[in-house]
Structure 1
Amino acid sequence: MNDKKSALFVQPGVAASHDGMQATTRRKFVRRKKKEIDFDAAVADIRAGDRIRLAKAITLLESSNTDDKVLGQELLKRLLPYTGNSIRIGITGVPGAGKSTFIETFGKMLCDEGHKVAVLAIDPSSSVTGGSILGDKTRMEELSREKNAFIRPSPSAGTLGGVHRKTRETMLLCEAAGYDIILIETVGVGQSETAVRNMVDFFLLLVLTGAGDELQGMKKGIMELADGILVHKADGDNLRNAKKTAMEYKQILHLLQPATPGWTTRTLTASSYEKTGFDKVFKTLDDFKETALENHVWNERRNSQTTDWFRQMILDKLVDDFYATAGRKDTVASLEQEILKGNLTVAQGIETLFKP
């Protein structure tokens, strides 16, 4: 519309040679330099208890980067001669049993007595996003300030039993750094928690008062794995019920196979609020180690755990390589649909998938 008196007339704009934005130089692509490590210095620092160096070493092992994996494994190999000098304790429990609170109180007591404590807290990853909160340092604020404590939250990433696939290697690094007590907190409770049993010396199950009610929601298998059952929050008006619950568990344990040959699973009570019962927990750990060494179970179990770990890694590697093949995931998805439609049996699907 050219009529300037019309309401539809559009005023011409101001001519300009540019859009008002300053010109920027184009960034050149720079290839990432290959990471290098002074292994001798790294080993010396970790052996000296440098927590920053230890954390960086664990990050290398957890990395999905190929170069990082190679460096991490070489560092771990050099530290292997300094591992194995700790007692490894797995801690699981029913929801609300206060696992993190127990670990913080127990860990502080151990630090006060001159021990070095490493807490490997398994953090549940979301099955939808794959993300995790990693908030264990927040929940164990006081323990995280202890100079003789090291807390490493680690995402479970969907691994069986909530145990991160690198937790075993992290445990070895902590031992090389001089931590003589390793506490592994697992996610929830259930039959899948047998995964943590296969990497620790002593397995502790935390429960609450009311054994009969709890057993309805707890699989018998988890109790058969426990070397100790601790009734937590045994304080105030709940103390009497806690002692009664401990007796009920003790009676139940007589009907189950012991988790460790030559050792009778003990039932204990403790309160993180009143800080009571922890001396008996530590005495139980001492007695357990002495008994296991006398019966030669200690070394036999650790050797068995290492070979089981090796075999599990073989399976993991086969699965990773299988899905790494181009188009393999789409083929699996297509065969799954054929099986669900009834066009193929499961066995026929497998034969089709692996047909040369």
Structure 2
Amino acid sequence: MSILHTQDVNRGGHMPDIAALETGIKKGDRAMLGRAITLVESRRSDHLAQAQELLSRLLPFTGKARRVGITGVPGVGKSTFIDAFGSNLTKLGKRVAVLAVDPSSGRSGGSILGDKTRMERLAVDEQAFIRPSPSAGVLGGVGRATRETMLLCEAAGYDVILVETVGAGQSEYMVADMVDVFLVLMLPGAGDELQGIKKGILEIADILAVNKADQDAGKARRAARDYASALHIMTAGDAAWKLPVLTVSGLQNQGLDALWETMEKHRHVMVEAGLFDQRRQDQRVKWMWAMVEDRLLTRFRNHEKVCRILPGLESDVRNDCKTATQAAEDLLSAFGMGDLE
């Protein structure tokens, strides 16, 4: 089974052996990879330091994989699609890692993406590795863990990294900022197709694919034509890459080879235009600033004076005894940052 669940990296009170993890990952040891991922997912300060040491050692062995982001509304068939698409890639001799950006439900704590064993073929494929990344609703934490997990998988020799998002809000933009090509799966005939295109998605999508084309091929083709017509009007005419619209079926494994060829073409166009490396460089800088925000917020929430006054301030805001702005200024003052100006 290639699905590895979170374990306690500090079991027995011992810090992880970084040298052993490094050696194991370079050999493609999935057990060692799973332990390393658990380490980078941890928010403990000692684990953060250990994780950064490990990543620094492995950094020269990263960056060679194809990084593919995949999104789509619930019900579009992402799991079935990824199972078929990933299996096709392993048959081509590629090692495939699937990372699920999975901000847990804020109410129940349960996983939005659910049981990844729905990917029946990939789950038992020795050339595949599947890893959900729940984070109790902290999207920034998911982003940090997923980015660093991607580097670990690359160092372990995986050729293609498929990063799946739930297709809800900010997670889409976060995933687009960590991949080379961003695929948006669409449903055929889901109401007015043109209304189904969010302008924000067009700004980050590299490929649109109408999935479930096996259910009604004619409806899928009409939807693809409508999307393509809308894109012709809405996208820049001088762009190096023209956003294509394909029809596929994850269930019947239709159109997936053509989709991979389109991804290969996208990479070639981006490299030739000098945009491939630029994209990755820009992503690394964005990652740096995201980590600044993540660490600042963590230190802020854990600050002794902030923790002491926070319950009272929250109560004051709830009961209209103090404005949210006043309460924020009080918290920042306790943190040592003065007023909001």
Which TM-score tier does this pair reach, normalised by the shorter chain? 0.7 to 0.9
Q: Percent identity?
A: 48
| TM-score (structure 2 length as normaliser) | 0.86
Residue 108 of structure 1: aligned partner: 87
Residue 217 of structure 2, aligned match among 239, 246, 254: 239
Q: Which amino acid aligns with 2:84?
A: T
Residue 81 of structure 1: aligned partner: 60
Distance 1:162 1:257, change over 3 A: farther
Distance 1:127 1:339, change over 3 A: closer
How many angstroms does 1:138 deviate by? 1.2
Which of structures 1 and 2 has the larger relative contact order (alpha carbons within 8 angstroms, sep 6+)? 2
- Please list every run of 5 or more consecutive structure 2 residues that lacks an aligned counterpart in the other structure: 1-10
How many angstroms does 1:300 deviate by? 0.7
Tell me if structure 1 keeps the 8 A contact 2:185–2:211.
Answer: yes
- Residue deviations 1:159-178 (CA, integer Å, cap 9, x gap): 34894430000000001111
Q: How does 1:136-147 map to 2 (within 5 A)?
A: 136-147=115-126
Residue 192 of structure 2: aligned partner: 213
Q: How does 1:1-356 map to 2 (within 5 A)?
A: 33-37=13-17, 39=19, 41-132=20-111, 135-160=114-139, 163-190=142-169, 192-210=171-189, 213-216=192-195, 219-236=198-215, 238-257=216-235, 261-329=239-307, 331-339=309-317, 343-355=321-333
- Which protein is richer in helix relative to its size? 2
Tell me if structure 1 keeps the 8 A contact 2:249–2:255.
Answer: yes
State the secondary structure of the residue aligned to 1:354.
helix
Q: Distance in 1 between matches of 2:32 and 2:330?
A: 49
How many angstroms does 1:339 deviate by? 4.5
- Please list every run of 5 or more consecutive structure 1 residues that lacks an aligned counterpart in the other structure: 1-30
Q: Distance in 2 between matches of 1:177 and 1:141?
A: 23
Q: Which amino acid aligns with 2:282?
A: S
Q: Which amino acid aligns with 2:173?
A: T
- Residue deviations 1:108-159 (CA, integer Å, cap 9, x gap): 0000011111100223412135343774431112111111111111114323
| TM-score (structure 1 length as normaliser) | 0.83
Distance 1:157 1:261, change over 3 A: farther
State the secondary structure of the residue aligned to 2:85.
helix
Q: Which amino acid aligns with 1:317?
A: R
How many angstroms does 1:273 deviate by? 2.5
Q: Number of residues paired by the alignment?
A: 324
How many angstroms does 1:323 deviate by? 1.4
Q: Which moved more, 1:96-105 or 1:141-150?
A: 141-150
Distance 1:215 1:111, change over 3 A: same
How many angstroms does 1:45 deviate by? 2.3
CA RMSD of aligned residues (A): 2.6
Q: Which amino acid aligns with 2:15?
A: K
State the secondary structure of the residue aligned to 2:144.
coil
Q: Distance in 2 between matches of 1:134 and 1:191?
A: 16
Q: Distance in 2 between matches of 1:33 and 1:106?
A: 41
